[in-house]
Amino acid sequence: MTNPSIGPSSQVRETDAIGADAHVQPRGGRAAPGRFERPGPFEFIAYVAALAFFIVSLSGTEWSFIAFIEGIPNLVTFLSEAFPPSLKRAEQVSWALLETFQMAFVGTVMGVILSLPLAILAARTLTPSRWIQGGARSIIALARTVPDLVWALIFVIMVGLGPFAGTLAIMVDTIGFCARFFAEAMEEIDQGPQEALTALGARKSGTVFSAVLPAAMPSFINTSLFALEKSTRSSVILGLVGAGGIGIELKVSMDMFEYAEAATIILSIFLLVLLVERVSSHLRRKIM
């Protein structure tokens, strides 16, 4: 039965609208996929500039498919001399591998411990003042943007050659990695428990330890495990600048053209990194 309050013209408009929607809607009731929007003049200029810079950069990096193809025989020669791997220095390689993981583990633990107070000061919802927040974030940015190899060079100058310099470099790199994500995790948690404790007269420190840290702890653990994986990979190359670890063993083997020993070191590094990643993934699944 037609509603008398709706005029004929309104019914016609509704019919036309329904017909138009049915005409636009594809078969199967699925929405039509969105199309790329036509870029504006400034966006088009930016795309062209990026493409031009990429083409120029190919020349600047001396990118050459011919050189790559011509280098394949050298790779085949290396592989033929590297396999089977030599176990002549297996004991020294094992101790260097252990030292590498010790550097990664100690540097990560120390970095995580120092990241926590720095992250609290850098968190928008917890910092005592904007000036302190800006200073904390500047320290985090400095630790994050300077490569760990550069930190290793600095600490070699400071404390001398050896694993201590590499451990300090990994610690600073971990601070830059973890403190940023720790601060973001504390900013993103539910503010309700904090507000409730504040209303009851709790101090700022009590709020942090009773509401903020427990809520953000799963994210802290997840980030710390990722940092350990990252530190394990980084600790391998720090030996190239005298900061301890197995990197120096690899460099010596390559410089002496002892490719079979180098293959043993490379495989050892691969197994160490793979083991750390597997254990880390297992722990993350258990925790999360």
Distance between CA 111 and CA 173 in Å, rounded?
8
Buried b (16+ CB within 10 A) or exposed e, 65-78: eeeeeeeeeeeeee
* Band (110; pLDDT cuts 50, 70, 90): very high
Cα 270 vs. chain centroid, distance in angstroms?
Answer: 19
Q: Supply the pLDDT for residue 195.
A: 65
Mean pLDDT in residue range 101-114: 93
**Main-chain dihedrals φ then ψ at residue 126, nearest 5 degrees:** -125, -20
Express each pLDDT in 208-238 by its tens digit.
Answer: 776 677 777 888 888 888 889 888 888 888 8
List pLDDT tens digits, range 19-76. 444 444 455 556 555 666 777 788 889 888 999 999 999 888 888 888 889 889 888 8
CB distance 263 to 82 below 8 Å: yes
Residue 151, both tokens:
């930190």
| Residue 227 structure tokens | 């940092």
Q: What is the pLDDT of residues 139-164, one digit of tens each?
A: 999 998 998 899 999 999 999 888 89
CA distances from 236 to 93, 100, 217, 224 (A): 12, 6, 29, 19
pTM for the whole structure: 0.76
pLDDT of residue 32: 56
